[in-house]
Structure 1
């Protein structure tokens, strides 16, 4: 990428945004690297040039580049500059897994911290989707999943008490919630998911170690058993800095909701 092309194509950073400038720059450069605008092994502009392109200080540039180094996307070569690493993380896995298998892989590749576990009255929208009676309570579990010491996502799950009464903190540390439910004889039949974005509140910013106000992806997932009964409602928050959503849709599903559908609340 030439300097002239960079100057013409660089998105401007917002001085009014609650997200710090160094983090905005980090996100822009990260996206450019992962999209291949800077190829593996290629140099990126030096601190002075990046400061000119984005109209920010060298300190801001230095912080953004340091974060990209920490994420394994850039490397500094003494006396030569900063380069995109040759061993960038793969953008797509070689093969996809079924839903339960993907949950199992996630369980194996991450560490879990149980933040909350209680039996409580579910919020009205959750109670409605789980078809809970007015007097029926639910097991509420909030967990943080991490890998290599870096937080990846926060999951907030609700399960009818009649199904999850034997769920414990120790059990959640050893197994995924889906495994505990399968151990109770539940067999999953289908899952409905909704994906949206929202600004990060201070609590989530603390848990995920991102700036308050930065964008988060939010996934609502409602799991049904083979009899069509809703058995788990879960909300997952994660940041696009460390996670992506991958869908592998069978051609037969392209004309169904299985391929996803964009809805507009207007």
Structure 2
């Protein structure tokens, strides 16, 4: 009896994996409701959810709060050595990007941002919080912190567009040297709410600290990617 639930979980996972591999459950499509799936597999909701959780951990499916379960789209290739921005990276891979601004304001700089941008105590920074989609799916929550000395009036512009292009067009500022830090993490409240997933869901956090063409520290980005949205791919030249 103790082995029945694990066997049922394995059987459900294999069945759904086969459906996905053969295209019967297409990428981006919504799975039937959990009640319907429980009936199909003649199992309990607890056993079904364990199976769905395992498939989500593998990156084959994902869940959005109040919307249900979906078949995952292919991961984006993310190469930190390539000079690009979100819209360009997504578009170059034949996908469709979109961005929404959650909030944008001038605020006191948190201590960690003062450290990253080498700002004195009690400095102000511009914070821009955005959620980004690929082919309609929420995949990225990002907090941008800008040194306001270099970007006067930036809050008056359309911040759904590429900041990289806005910097160049309006301020003649171009990215120079950049530092990346990547760590697996769990989504905090703001990130989870923006991505419509549960607090504590797995993610990849990428912190980028950017200098401009003159070597000045101009901004930093703290990105929280859904764990199944990207794969990091780097080719180091000889």
1:41 aligns with 2:22: yes
Aligned length: 204
Instruction: Give the alignment of 1:1-266 within 5 angstroms.
Output: 40-41=21-22, 56-58=46-48, 68=61, 71-72=70-71, 90=74, 99-106=82-89, 109-134=96-121, 136-168=123-155, 170-173=157-160, 175-183=161-169, 184-241=171-228, 243-252=229-238
Aligned mates of 1:207, 1:247 — CA distance in 2: 26
Please report how far the alpha carbon of residue 112 of structure 1 lies from its aligned counterpart in structure 2 after TM superposition.
1.5
What is the Cα deviation at residue 141 of structure 1? 0.6
* Structure 2 alignment gaps of length 5 or more: 1-5, 26-36, 63-68
State the Cα distance separating 1:221 from its structure 2 match: 0.7
Return the TM-score normalized by structure 1. Answer: 0.60
Gaps of 5+ in 1: 1-5, 11-24, 74-88, 253-266
Q: Distance in 2 between matches of 1:212 and 1:249?
A: 34
Separation of aligned partners in 2, 1:92 and 1:117: 27
Taking the aligned partners of 1:194 and 1:134, their CA distance within structure 2 comes to 23
Give the structure 2 partner of residue 20 of structure 1.
none
Secondary structure of the structure 2 residue equivalent to 1:249: coil
Q: TM-score, normalised by structure 2?
A: 0.66
Q: Greater RCO between the two (CA within 8 Å, min separation 6)?
A: 2
> Residue 154 of structure 2 aligns to a residue in which SS?
coil
Q: Say if 1:47 and 1:62, in contact at 8 Å, map to a contact too.
A: no
Answer whether contact 1:200 1:215 (CA < 8 A) is retained.
yes
CA shift for structure 1 position 142? 0.6
Bigger-Rg structure (1/2):
1
| Structure 1 residues 49 and 229: CA distance shift in structure 2, 3 A | same
CA contact (8 A) 2:75 2:231 kept: no
Q: Aligned partners of 1:233 and 1:92: how far apart in 2?
A: 22
> Taking structure 1 as reference, are residues 92 and 118 closer, same or farther at Cα in structure 2, changes over 3 Å only?
closer
- The CA distance in 2 between the partners of 1:250 and 1:59, in whole Å, is 41
Distance in structure 2 (CA, Å) of the matches to 1:104 and 1:220: 18
Distance 1:251 1:140 in 2: 35
Residues in 2 aligned to 1:97 and 1:234: alpha-carbon distance in whole angstroms: 13
